[in-house]
Amino acid sequence: MAALVSSPREVFSEAVRAVLETWPVLQIAVDNGFGGVFSQQKADWMVDAVQQYFHDNSDLEQDEVEDFLSELMNNEFDTVVDDGSLPQVAQKVCVMFQQCKQGKLAEVRQHISQLALKKASGRAKVTPVKSPTEDADDDGDRDNDESMECDEAQAGASVSSTALKLQQQPFSSTRTEEEEEEEEGWTVVCRKK
């Protein structure tokens, strides 16, 4: 039986993968196809890009790693990360890189296993939820914007799927009325010729 001996570079690559796979912003972007049809491949490539960035640059500061991750998310997934998670992700990666560099591979592996447990407990999901105050608010004091709201559960799914369809298909005035009504319950009103 071969011994499980890994180089610091291999362990660091595993660590980067573990951190990125448990980063809710990236996982939401992948799950919802923000990077197009190759979103998962882009996420896999991102692991290699981050690992290579560390090996090509000596003594990286956390803010440099934040900027790099932010740029990757913006360029590859059209996503601006503004939830405050970027510093945490950059810090985790920086700490694990330093530990790998110092030969503390057992500590890094332990951290990877903790992240794997976190991943196994469930990925971040975006689910629209109607607040209890919306159901109880029948006094007519709603804003005009609220009167335009649709059922949130249906609207979230249909808007995102309709937006993806529209991005993939150029607008064509030759579409039939049946096609227009089939798009998730939406009816498209077109001008007569």
Beta carbons of 21 and 27 less than 8 angstroms apart? yes
pTM above threshold 0.95: no
Region 11-24: what's the mean pLDDT? 94
Task: Decide if pLDDT at 173 tops 50.
Answer: no
DSSP string, 135-189: HH--SS---TTGGG---HHHHHHHHHHHHHHHHHS---TT--HHHHHHTTT----
- Among 191, 38, 39, 168, smallest CA distance to 183 is for 168
- C-alpha to C-alpha distance for 126 and 122, rounded to whole angstroms: 12
